[in-house]
Copies of this chain bind each other. A is one copy, B any other.
Amino acid sequence: MITVREARPGDGEIIWRTTWALAEHHGFLANFVAKPADYERDLFCANPVIGALIAEVDGIPAGSAVWHRSYSTNRGREIMYLEDVIVLKEHRRKGVARALFKAAAQVALDKGYGKVFWMVLNWNEDAKALYRKLGAEIDPEHRLCSIDGDALNALAG
């Protein structure tokens, strides 16, 4: 029995556990400095920019989705960016990811966000196949640019 619910105060720990597992899976642990209290603070403040969903299998946390408010200048409207959709290893192949995407889509429509977007690693063929089955388009042309740390400080001057 898969259920998905909105995160509530106290869920920072569950979200941290799942995002940590994803960072480990992707080999990103070196950059993973978040603490459960960070999510707790940023989810349950006065005007949160993020939201989260918790998936449970028979009442046990099996995954999570963290999204944040985003914006389309083409639309002149807020949209939803899915930062993480995670299913813990022992709960894969049960439909948990699909349930999380479906719930995220419902949250987006409830909030008047006409579009949801997210990233996938190009080598992750299983994920790409699922996303296409869900109706998503995968754009071949956009590439992700970023700057942080010393380079960001240097740019700011």
Instruction: Select one of B42, B71, B151 contacting A68, CB under 8 A.
Output: B71
Query: Chain B contacts of A148 at CB under 8 A?
Result: 114-116
Interface residues of A in 112-145 (CB under 8 A from B): 114-123, 128, 131, 134-145
Chain B residue, CB-CB nearest to A50: B71
Q: How far apart are the CA atoms of A140 and B145 in the complex, in Å?
A: 9
Q: A75 contacts B136, CB within 8 Å?
A: no
Q: B105 contacts A152, CB within 8 Å?
A: yes
Q: B137 contacts A122, CB within 8 Å?
A: no
CB of A98 to closest CB in B, whole Å: 9
- Chain A: number of interface residues, binned into ranges: 35 or more
Q: B73 contacts A19, CB within 8 Å?
A: yes
CB of A87 to closest CB in B, whole Å: 15
A59 within 8 A of B: no
Q: B139 contacts A151, CB within 8 Å?
A: no
Question: Interface 1/0s, chain A 70-94, versus B by CB < 8 A?
Answer: 1111111110010110000000000
Q: B121 contacts A142, CB within 8 Å?
A: yes
Q: Report 6 cross-chain contacts, Cβ distance below 8 Å, ordered by A residue.
A: A33-B74, A39-B73, A114-B148, A121-B141, A128-B143, A136-B146
